[in-house]
Chains A and B, each alone.
Chain A
Amino acid sequence: MTDRAFAGMSYDAVLQKYADTVAGVCVMRLQNWADAEDCFQNTFIKLFQKSPEFRSEAHLKAWLIRVAINECRNYISKNRRFLPLDGLEQGAVSFHEDERDISWALMRLEPKYREALYLYHCEEYKVNEIAQILGKNPNTVKSLLKRGREKLKLIYGGEKDG
């Protein structure tokens, strides 16, 4: 069973290569290590159980990100609990407030803006690719990016340099 391939890669190779990506998505979305771990594991469980046919590694990576985001959404809706923004809860992910590294500011955005900005700036996806991953219209994604940047600047007090 373990010899099955995903876009020409073994399960272990996929895990090693995309573990950070999936972990980043889960942490970005849930902002809690314990919750993020659950979704991280569920994502790879689905990968192994469903074993979909992938056209390429890019397709595989996009599939993993999309499944991870969906897992996080389902996790939140199932647990119905408030996810703190200020890192007071035990296990919460916190980033040091830095003038250049504004990850902490991104984490204070609403999830819909956070997802779009994260995929654009951290995973370096294009608008159309983000639209496919999130299942939204490209224009909607553009709008999310624009408004997200504006809100982000308000949070970190940035200049009009975006």
Chain B
Amino acid sequence: MDKHNFDSLKNLKAPREWIEKAALIPESTEKRCAFPLYRVTAAASVVLVALIGLSAFLLFGRGQAPITVQNATTAETRAIGNAETVGVTEDSKPTDAAVSPTRASQAGSTEFFADSTEAPAKPAQHATEKPADPTVYPTAPSAPTVAPTEVPPAPTVLPTTPPPTTPPAAEAPTDGMEVPAGDGEISFSAVFSSTLIGEGEPLYCTFWEQDHYASSMAIDDDHKARYFILKNGMVLAMYEALVPASAGDDPHEYTYEYIFYNSRGQVIARGTESFII
């Protein structure tokens, strides 16, 4: 190919316009990269949405719940012999006027405290405040937020001398029923979505000792459970019952299985709870 060449292609010159345009590349690139507003805006939007979501979650999801259930299945329903305390947050304001106190102490006062950690202190305080006449049940002012629906007459079988140091023994919810000596009081609770139960629909509970035959799902007043609809859309259901205490002096631990169900027999919640009775 000695006598041939590619001079036309080899000596091809880039047009002046091409070079001028290419010379402007650094400026245009710098302008594009100098302040990528869209990136800043996009990042800010993501952060903003995340903050709003977090705030909403904290406000409505957890922080503002009217009732904080402290260990709903353990602490709240812990029973030691006949003494039992129920923790309900201080800011709880059940709107249902029919809500009755969950427990009455031996001194006759309904106990509500802000935190479960306060539980040991309050009973002692009540014991010293009302040592004179433990047979007298409190009236509405002693429990301003949640009033008992019925104030039964003072049971005469209760001890007349309050225990000064130990927490007073709990007493059954007062429907005018006397607490038989030697019975243990147990309670069950469950938290579930309010969508599982209709407004005003009755809720029932039954329980049985573990490894024993299950109870039938009776639909009657004895099995009726109480429940509160919380602000976060959840329902706190509670059921209390009396069971025979252990024979002898030493308390014994019993484990019960329980279910909450509606009037159609649909199981809404179930669980297992242990009590020392």
Interface positions of A (Cβ within 8 A of B)? 1-2, 11-12, 15-16, 19-20, 22-24, 27-28, 33, 37, 40-41, 44-45, 48-49, 95-96, 98, 100-104, 106-107, 118, 121-122, 149, 156, 158, 161-162
- The interface residues of chain A lying within 8 Å CB-to-CB of B13 are 20, 23
Q: Nearest 8 CB-CB pairs, A to B?
A: A23-B14, A103-B8, A103-B9, A19-B14, A162-B1, A44-B22, A122-B10, A2-B26
Residue in A closest to B2 when the chains form the complex, CB atoms? A161
- Indicate if the CB atoms of B14 and A106 lie closer than 8 Å: no
- Indicate if the CB atoms of A158 and B4 lie closer than 8 Å: yes
What would be 7 A-B contacts, judged by CB atoms less than 8 Å apart? Answer: A1-B26, A23-B18, A41-B21, A44-B25, A49-B29, A101-B5, A158-B4
Q: A23-B14, A23-B18, A40-B14 are in contact. Are A95 and B26 (CB under 8 A)?
A: no
Partner of A48, one of B6, B8, B26: B26
Complex CA–CA separation, A95 to B6 (angstroms):
10
- Indicate if the CB atoms of A102 and B5 lie closer than 8 Å: yes
How far in angstroms is the closest Cβ of chain B from A152? 8
Q: A1-B26, A44-B25, A49-B29 are in contact. Are A100 and B9 (CB under 8 A)?
A: no
Is B248's CB within 8 Å of the partner chain A? no
- Indicate if the CB atoms of B9 and A45 lie closer than 8 Å: no
How far in angstroms is the closest Cβ of chain A from B52? 37
- Indicate if the CB atoms of A121 and B6 lie closer than 8 Å: yes
- The interface residues of chain A lying within 8 Å CB-to-CB of B23 are 12, 15
- Indicate if the CB atoms of B6 and A23 lie closer than 8 Å: no
Is B15's CB within 8 Å of the partner chain A? yes
State the main secondary structure of chain B at its contact with A: helix
- Indicate if the CB atoms of A24 and B8 lie closer than 8 Å: no
- Indicate if the CB atoms of A1 and B29 lie closer than 8 Å: yes
How far in angstroms is the closest Cβ of chain A from B48? 31
- The interface residues of chain B lying within 8 Å CB-to-CB of A19 are 14, 18-19, 22
- The interface residues of chain B lying within 8 Å CB-to-CB of A104 are 8
Contact with A along B241-264 (1 / 0, CB 8 A): 000000000000000000000000
- Indicate if the CB atoms of B25 and A45 lie closer than 8 Å: yes
Complex CA–CA separation, A106 to B3 (angstroms):
15
Complex CA–CA separation, A102 to B10 (angstroms):
11
Is B37's CB within 8 Å of the partner chain A? no
How far in angstroms is the closest Cβ of chain B from A147? 14
Is B201's CB within 8 Å of the partner chain A? no
Interface of chain B residues 7 through 55 with chain A (CB within 8 A): 7-10, 12-15, 17-19, 21-23, 25-27, 29-30
- The interface residues of chain B lying within 8 Å CB-to-CB of A161 are 1-4
- The interface residues of chain B lying within 8 Å CB-to-CB of A106 are 6, 9
Residue in B closest to A2 when the chains form the complex, CB atoms? B26
- Indicate if the CB atoms of A101 and B14 lie closer than 8 Å: no
- The interface residues of chain B lying within 8 Å CB-to-CB of A11 are 25-26
Question: What 10 new A-B contacts, CB under 8 Å, besides A40-B22, A49-B29, A118-B9?
Answer: A1-B26, A2-B26, A11-B26, A12-B23, A23-B15, A37-B18, A100-B4, A103-B7, A121-B10, A122-B10
- The interface residues of chain B lying within 8 Å CB-to-CB of A107 are 9
- The interface residues of chain B lying within 8 Å CB-to-CB of A12 are 23
Residue in B closest to A36 when the chains form the complex, CB atoms? B18
- The interface residues of chain B lying within 8 Å CB-to-CB of A98 are 8
- Indicate if the CB atoms of B6 and A149 lie closer than 8 Å: no
- The interface residues of chain B lying within 8 Å CB-to-CB of A118 are 6, 9
Complex CA–CA separation, A118 to B7 (angstroms):
11
- The interface residues of chain B lying within 8 Å CB-to-CB of A122 are 6, 9-10
Q: A45-B25, A45-B29 are in contact. Are A20 and B12 (CB under 8 A)?
A: yes
Complex CA–CA separation, A122 to B6 (angstroms):
7
How far in angstroms is the closest Cβ of chain A from B19? 5
Complex CA–CA separation, A149 to B4 (angstroms):
12
How far in angstroms is the closest Cβ of chain B from A30? 13
- The interface residues of chain A lying within 8 Å CB-to-CB of B2 are 161
How far in angstroms is the closest Cβ of chain B from A4? 8
Residue in A closest to B8 when the chains form the complex, CB atoms? A103
- Indicate if the CB atoms of B26 and A149 lie closer than 8 Å: no
